[in-house]
Amino acid sequence: LKTGIISQAKGSAYIEQGNTKLVCGVYGPREVQKKSDFSLNGQLFCEFKFAPFSCQKRRGHQQDNEELVLSGLLREALEAAVCLHKFPKAQVEVNVMVIENDGSPLAAALTCASLALASASIPMYDLMIGTSVRQIPKLFLLDPTKDEEWQPELNHDENNSNLTVGFMPSTHQVSAYVHEGVSKTEDLEQMLKLATEYCLKVQPVVQLCLKETVEKILSNEGEKVDE
């Protein structure tokens, strides 16, 4: 985990989750230009994109259907974590770029975007941690790789699924819940339990990264005052 990766962004972060690598930039708040988009609450605009070279099959430069769906899921999850009422009539842009995709990109994006928003001083109810749980018969895998992920064309049987969760540890709220495949209710409960427990373990790592970011900013400001 790192912050301050994109100099032009108000806040940014980089994450490596296994071999999955992605970067997130946050811009704004900016005044909403279109009157039709006016809202008393602030708005989030999220763009999720795979770099052309990030996957085994080369991706296009324009957003495809998968990227549009992931953009929507990211926005819905982050809206639960961001204090939108703190910047009325304005919009914050969150741009995620996957540099290398080896599985669980949405989970990594949730953590990375949350850290980028916090580093941009966007008011939030809580940091968000993302994780995925892969269910195969008699086994659960945390943050599965690309080869381990659930695939609709291959995994038709029961007890074969994937669950991605966005969890806010301090408030113990689930803001993202994306399930693919077929699972029994008791297995889903176990998958959610595993995901939230893992997020609680990751929380101190994200908090430490943010703490170091704040300390660095304060140190730089102190040096400017001394000059």
Domains located in the chain, CATH noted: 2-226 (3.30.230.70)
Which pLDDT does position 119 carry in this prediction?
93
Please give the single-letter amino acid code of residue 85: H
**How many whole angstroms separate alpha carbon 151 and alpha carbon 227?**
58
What are the two backbone dihedrals, phi and then psi, of residue 103, each rounded to the nearest 5 degrees?
110, 155
Which pLDDT does position 23 carry in this prediction?
98
Which pLDDT does position 222 carry in this prediction?
63
Q: What does each of the 227 residues of the chain score in pLDDT, given as a tens digit?
A: 999 999 999 999 999 999 999 999 999 999 877 665 556 788 999 999 999 998 888 888 888 899 999 999 999 999 999 999 999 889 999 999 999 999 999 999 999 999 999 999 999 999 999 999 999 888 999 999 999 887 766 656 677 899 999 999 999 999 999 999 888 999 999 999 999 999 999 999 999 999 998 888 787 766 655 55
Which pLDDT does position 40 carry in this prediction?
75
What are the two backbone dihedrals, phi and then psi, of residue 49, each rounded to the nearest 5 degrees?
-140, 135
Which residues contact residue 176 at a Cβ distance below 8 angstroms, ignoring those fewer than 6 apart? 73, 76, 77, 106, 110, 128, 130, 164, 165, 166
Which residues contact residue 161 at a Cβ distance below 8 angstroms, ignoring those fewer than 6 apart? 134, 135, 150, 155, 179, 180, 181, 182, 183, 187, 191
Please give the single-letter amino acid code of residue 154: L
Which pLDDT does position 150 carry in this prediction?
79
CA distances from 170 to 87, 123, 126, 212 (A): 23, 15, 6, 19
Which pLDDT does position 190 carry in this prediction?
96
Q: Global pTM?
A: 0.91
Contact 147, 100 (CB under 8 A): no
Which pLDDT does position 178 carry in this prediction?
96
Which pLDDT does position 31 carry in this prediction?
86
